[in-house]
């Protein structure tokens, strides 16, 4: 069983803090995820910095807009040289196809990933939004659409892998946030799992934030997680 790749979520509010943290990581052990807060405060500069340090970058901006806007945004993001970017599968078929077209127009070839439902969502959340489906049925529908419209994978909860893996192509990527260690609290995420659980269920990439960023020695923490995964 191949170990999933680790992407460290750079949950920092400033470019300076993010750079300091990046400088303490090893690109042979992990990639980095840049989300909305850091990208909004720092822009493409922090993406360029991470790439210059040889890190794979997952640009986690979850585009969701009219198709042409998403197409242009995906092209611009791809041209930064990122390894992976994502969109909300809830945007529908036209938006997904436009995103695919934008990425395919780039000189680079990043992975284009669809977000199903956020790990903070539960049945109560989707009921309040107005979906008529059960939580798992809604996730399944969004995941199948991602595959149908030629996305490279999905972002989903580890718990969703149990019923999604048999339905999707073998070369499909499963990116799983909500990764916590055994001794941690859940914070604001409801559908979580440990790295070992994620590997056993078939995750191909793990997004890990607070367990690493709040550690006194982030590099040692990554090595410890990798060691646990190796033992399975």
Which one has a higher pLDDT value, 35 or 4?
35
Q: Which of 33, 45, 53, 62 is catalytic?
A: 62
Question: What pLDDT shows up at residue 184?
Answer: 52
- Give the predicted TM-score (pTM) of the model: 0.94
pLDDT tens digit sequence for 105-126: 999 999 999 999 988 889 999 9
* Mean pLDDT across 152-179: 96
| Tens digit of each residue's pLDDT (9 = 90 or more) over 22-35 | 999 999 999 999 99
Query: If you average pLDDT over residues 26-52, what whole number do you get?
Result: 98
Dump the DSSP string for the chain: -PPPEEEEE---SSHHHHHHHHTTS-TTT-EEEE-HHHHHHHTHHHHHHHHHTT--EEEEEEE-S-HHHHHHHHHHHHTTT-SEEEEEGGG-HHHHHHHHHHHHTSSS--EEEEE-S-TT--HHHHHHHT--S-HHHHHHHHHHHHHHTT-SEEE--GGGHHHHGGGS-TT-EEEE--B--TT---TT-SS-B-HHHHHHHT-SEEEE-HHHHTSSSHHHHHHHHHHHHHT-
The CATH number of 5-230 is 3.20.20.70
62 is catalytic: yes
Q: What is the pLDDT of residues 181-206, one digit of tens each?
A: 875 555 545 557 899 999 999 999 99
pLDDT at residue 136 in the model: 96
Q: At 4, is the pLDDT very low, low, confident or very high (cuts 50, 70, 90)?
A: confident
Q: Residue 8 pLDDT > 70, yes or no? A: yes
Confidence at 90, pLDDT banded by 50, 70, 90: very high
């Amino acid at each position: 069983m191949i170990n999933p790749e680790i992407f460290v979520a750079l949950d920092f509010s400033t470019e300076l803090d993010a750079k300091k943290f990046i400088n303490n990581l090893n690109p042979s052990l992990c990639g980095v995820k840049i989300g909305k807060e850091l990208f909004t405060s720092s822009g493409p500069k922090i993406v360029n910095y991470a790439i210059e340090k040889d890190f794979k970058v997952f640009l986690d901006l979850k585009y969701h807009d009219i198709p042409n806007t998403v197409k242009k945004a995906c092209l611009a993001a791809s041209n930064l040289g990122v390894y992976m970017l994502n969109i909300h599968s809830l945007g529908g078929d036209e938006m997904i196809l436009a995103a695919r077209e934008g990425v395919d127009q780039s000189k680079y070839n990043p992975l284009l990933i669809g977000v199903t439902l956020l790990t903070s969502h539960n049945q109560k959340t989707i009921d309040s939004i107005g979906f008529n489906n059960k939580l798992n049925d809604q996730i399944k529908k969004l995941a199948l659409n991602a595959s149908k419209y030629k996305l490279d994978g999905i972002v989903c909860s580890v718990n969703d892998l149990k019923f999604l893996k048999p339905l999707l192509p073998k070369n499909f990527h499963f990116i799983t946030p909500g990764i916590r260690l055994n001794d941690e609290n859940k914070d604001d995420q409801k559908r979580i799992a440990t790295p070992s659980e994620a590997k056993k269920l078939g995750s191909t990439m793990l997004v890990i934030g607070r367990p690493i960023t709040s550690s006194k020695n982030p590099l040692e923490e990554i090595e410890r997680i990798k060691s646990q995964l190796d033992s399975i």
